[in-house]
Amino acid sequence: MTLNQSFTLDETVRPVLPQLTDGLRSILRDQLIGVYLYGSLITGDFASGISDVDLVVVMTSELDSIQFDALHRLHQSVVERQQEWHDRLELAYISAVALRTFRSQSSTIGIISPGEPFHLLEAGSDWLISWYALRKDGLALIGPPIKTLIDDIPSDDYLRAVAEHICHYRDSVKKTHNKQALSYIVLTVARGLYTLTHRRAPSKIQAAAWAKQSYPRWAELIERALLWRANPHSDQLTAEQIRPEVADYVSDMLAQLDD
């Protein structure tokens, strides 16, 4: 597979992308407009064996039931051939119209993501953060440049959405039942606060380094979160044991938004 622009791809990802793009071409045919890579592979935050592959598939119309079933089989076949990608594929299937009008109306999109089976959901303005990142950094594997498919999103709108998003973790930290999810919360809140402070999004690693230096009280927790991200069994602590500390961290970090 030849990428549409110069890009150095992590070697562990090279085998999986041709399987996906060839399968998408075969299933969607003339309905396929483009396939776009974004997320950690683009931002430099990708960790082999840990990070997901993030793809957005843009189509002329919404998925029908036959295509949905065929795509489900495609996802399964990729994982069967390459077991290391189990629960590490994140694909969104969206029509060009839905991508263009997401701020004014919700549309049905198909999603497969870690911890969730392939399913349909309604997505609208709540996806602004994702589509902002896609428009900014998305790399076309198939199709025209992604900026031709998404209208400009003002940076102030993006920053407002980031603030709203990380504030939701006050509640979600109480419902999280595993260490990797708590690690995700720690690192995502740090990343969000960095984004709001510097008006640009960093990688998780960059955000973690900044947060450890800027908020030394939480440096040890952030360092442990990086370890839990790679291996939740890196220590003997349970999710229930660390949840109170993570909750205090979230409250303290979000308090910075009011300063």
CA distance 56 to 94: 7
What distances in angstroms separate CA 176 from CA 170, 173, 243, one per listed residue?
11, 5, 8
Supply the mean pLDDT for the chain. Answer: 92
CATH of the domain at 97: 3.30.460.10
Count: domains in the chain: 2
- Tell me whether residue 2 is in a domain: no
Task: Considering only residues 120 and 205, tell me which one the structure prediction assigns the higher pLDDT.
Answer: 120
Shared domain for 171 and 191, answered yes or no, is yes
- Tell me whether residue 76 is in a domain: yes
CA distance 197 to 159: 10
pTM of the model: 0.91
> Quick one: which of 119, 64, 70, 63 has its CA closest to 95?
63
% pLDDT > 70, the chain: 96
For 47-116, what is the HEC assignment? Answer: CCCCCCEEEEEEECCCCCHHHHHHHHHHHHHHHHHCHHHCCCEEEEEEEHHHHHHCCCCCEEEEEEECCE
Give pLDDT tens digits for 108-117.
Answer: 999 999 889 9
- Tell me whether residue 105 is in a domain: yes
pLDDT at 5: 44
* Amino acid type, 241: Q
Give pLDDT tens digits for 117-141.
Answer: 999 999 999 999 999 999 999 999 9
Shared domain for 171 and 187, answered yes or no, is yes
